């Protein structure tokens, strides 16, 4: 599981320097087998837990107005630690208000981004169909 996510990050170039294309992974790849509270939402005072993050983001992706939800990799910690993410990408036709309402249990920042995290598209293509938009949900 950890080996799988690290392998995919490496396949995409593994750029975790904050410049250039960042690796992005599926919800399944990031969350299955992950029990590291430091991997996402680590600054939350009342962390809801990794299973809750996974459940809420899967439920979000299941809505008919959501095309995809992907995890942006902010930092690769090492071969024995889960990678760190402080943001996820959502491709949707829903409003930012609605996305924030659906993910409120995860306590994301109230200001959602509408571009790629570092201004550069990720290492893999994430299509944004006509009538949809890219949103970036993040945690400080």
Does 94 score more than 90 pLDDT?
A: yes
How large is the average pLDDT for residues 10-20? 72
How large is the average pLDDT for residues 113-122? 84
On whether the CB atoms of residues 117 and 87 are closer than 8 A, the answer is: yes
On whether the CB atoms of residues 113 and 136 are closer than 8 A, the answer is: yes
Q: Domain-by-domain residue ranges, the chain? A: 2-138
Going by pLDDT thresholds of 50, 70 and 90, the confidence category of residue 108 is very high
Largest Cα span, the chain: 41
Provide the whole-model pTM.
0.94
pLDDT of res. 18: 56
């Amino acid at each position: 599981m950890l080996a799988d996510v690290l392998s995919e990050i490496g396949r995409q170039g593994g750029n975790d320097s904050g410049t250039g294309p960042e690796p992005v992974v599926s919800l399944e790849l990031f969350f299955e087998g992950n029990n590291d509270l430091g991997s996402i939402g680590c600054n939350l005072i009342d962390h809801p837990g990794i299973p809750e993050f996974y459940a809420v983001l899967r439920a979000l992706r299941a809505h008919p107005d959501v095309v995809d939800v992907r995890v942006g990799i902010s930092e690769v910690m090492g071969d024995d630690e889960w990678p760190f993410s402080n943001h996820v990408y959502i491709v949707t036709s829903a409003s930012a208000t609605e996305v924030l309402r659906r993910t409120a249990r995860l306590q994301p920042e109230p200001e959602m981004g509408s571009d790629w995290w570092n201004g550069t598209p990720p290492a893999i293509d994430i299509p944004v169909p006509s009538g949809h938009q890219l949103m970036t949900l993040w945690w400080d």
